């Protein structure tokens, strides 16, 4: 007997199907599914943020070359990588909203994870290129137009701050949104650092401060990127999402009415916003299994944020199936 339970934030549907299959091992299979929609399709924040960051790139790149400032060019390169990240995140969000069909039975939700991984990798490579140029400039300092650098970086501070504020909502539940927020907030801080370095050069004439500021920019980029990259790679490898308390989930299932054992518990990310779970639950008494499965699915959704739970109910552990 198989029963499907779909749990959504706004509505619930219960479907029961009895296929009448008899198994020598006395298995009863149950599935509880909880689906939740990710970010809204066509989220206007992505388009606006892309436009604003392209504007920063053009302004800072032009100002950097005019003022001969590697720090400003580094900041422009960082913002260019953010544009790529925004395009990937926005495109992945759109893909994730596409319905599941054909061989893609889970839909395109994993595209958001791939976007987060790609964004992190690109930032690492951009950081390396900036660092190489900055080290070269440390050994051969060049004149820097400090006033131009300060004015241009100030524009970057304003635009990045506005963009970061746009992405404060939703960062707790979506890795891509959190990544965008962290990038924009980091960019604003980096631009402040560029202003400070240019001001010191103006006061002291120490032009090597400009490439030093570039290296500090790289440090900020890598510090902000490492955690995001590690978490997104974990998601791509189907590790349990950060914050998923596996011990508590195991204990909750094991303490449910009539349950004597829980095994083969797996928790992974279907997207940056959707967590899935499968588990075998040993329950000798099969009375009211449909309601039991539905209750567990809803409780997993409400207590642990699991939006797609598949539960297999067994009368006893199947010792004849080593992989079960």
How far is 126 from 121, CA to CA, in rounded Å?
A: 9
Q: Among residues of the chain, what percentage have pLDDT more than 70?
A: 78
- Collapsed DSSP state (helix, strand, coil) of residue 126: helix
pLDDT tops 80 at residue 178: no
Which of 100, 130, 94 is closest to 115 using CA atoms? 94
How far is 127 from 215, CA to CA, in rounded Å?
A: 9
pLDDT tens-place string over residues 100-143:
777 777 777 777 778 778 878 877 887 787 788 788 878 877 78
Residues 155-183 have a mean pLDDT of: 78
pLDDT at 38: 38
Residues 143-156 have a mean pLDDT of: 88
pLDDT at 199: 92
Lowest mean pLDDT among 35-49, 54-68, 90-104, 227-241: 35-49
Put simply, whether the predicted model's pTM sits higher than 0.95 gets the answer no
pLDDT tens-place string over residues 8-61:
333 343 333 333 333 333 333 333 333 333 344 456 777 888 888 889 889 988
pLDDT at 140: 78
pLDDT band at 78; cut points 50, 70, 90: confident
Q: Are 269 and 307 in contact (CB under 8 A)?
A: no
pLDDT tens-place string over residues 187-214:
788 788 889 888 998 898 888 888 888 8
Strand order in the sheet with 261-269: 27-29, 306-314, 275-282, 261-269
Residue 100's CB: how many other CB atoms inside 10 A?
Answer: 11
pLDDT band at 173; cut points 50, 70, 90: low
Which of 157, 190, 185 is closest to 171 using CA atoms? 185
pLDDT top residue among 105 and 165 = 165
pLDDT tops 80 at residue 170: no
How far is 63 from 74, CA to CA, in rounded Å?
A: 12
pLDDT tops 80 at residue 82: no
**pLDDT averaged over the chain?**
75
Which of 104, 113, 109, 96 is closest to 43 using CA atoms? 96
pLDDT tops 70 at residue 96: no
Q: Are 307 and 275 in contact (CB under 8 A)?
A: yes
pLDDT tens-place string over residues 258-289:
888 889 899 888 877 778 898 998 888 766 67
């Amino acid at each position: 007997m198989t029963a499907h339970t779909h749990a959504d934030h706004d509505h619930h549907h219960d479907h029961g199907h009895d296929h009448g299959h008899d198994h020598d091992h006395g298995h009863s299979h149950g599935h509880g599914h909880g689906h939740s929609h990710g970010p809204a399709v066509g989220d206007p924040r992505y388009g606006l943020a892309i436009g604003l960051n392209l504007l920063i790139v053009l302004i800072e790149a032009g100002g950097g070359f005019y003022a001969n400032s590697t720090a400003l060019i580094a900041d422009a390169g960082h913002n260019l990588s953010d544009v790529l990240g925004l395009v990937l995140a926005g495109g992945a969000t759109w893909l994730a909203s596409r319905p599941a069909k054909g061989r893609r039975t889970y839909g395109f939700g994993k595209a958001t994870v791939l976007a987060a991984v790609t964004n992190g990798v690109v930032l690492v490579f951009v950081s390396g290129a900036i660092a190489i140029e900055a080290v070269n400039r440390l050994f051969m300092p060049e004149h820097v137009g400090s006033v131009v650098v300060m004015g241009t970086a100030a524009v970057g501070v304003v635009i990045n701050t506005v963009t970061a504020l746009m992405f404060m909502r939703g960062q707790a539940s979506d890795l891509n949104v959190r990544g965008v927020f962290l990038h924009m907030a980091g960019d604003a801080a980096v631009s402040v650092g560029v202003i400070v370095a240019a001001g010191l050069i103006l006061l002291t004439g120490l032009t090597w401060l400009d490439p030093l500021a570039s290296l500090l920019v790289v440090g900020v980029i890598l510090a902000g990127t490492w955690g995001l990259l590690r978490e997104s790679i974990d998601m791509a490898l189907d590790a349990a999402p950060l914050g998923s308390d596996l011990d508590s989930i195991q204990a909750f299932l094991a303490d449910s009415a009539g349950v004597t054992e829980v095994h083969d518990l797996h928790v992974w990310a279907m997207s940056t916003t959707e967590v899935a779970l499968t588990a075998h639950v040993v329950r000798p008494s099969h009375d009211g299994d449909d309601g039991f499965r539905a209750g567990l699915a809803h409780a997993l959704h409400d207590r642990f944020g699991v939006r797609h739970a598949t539960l297999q109910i067994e009368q006893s552990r199947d010792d004849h199936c080593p992989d079960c």
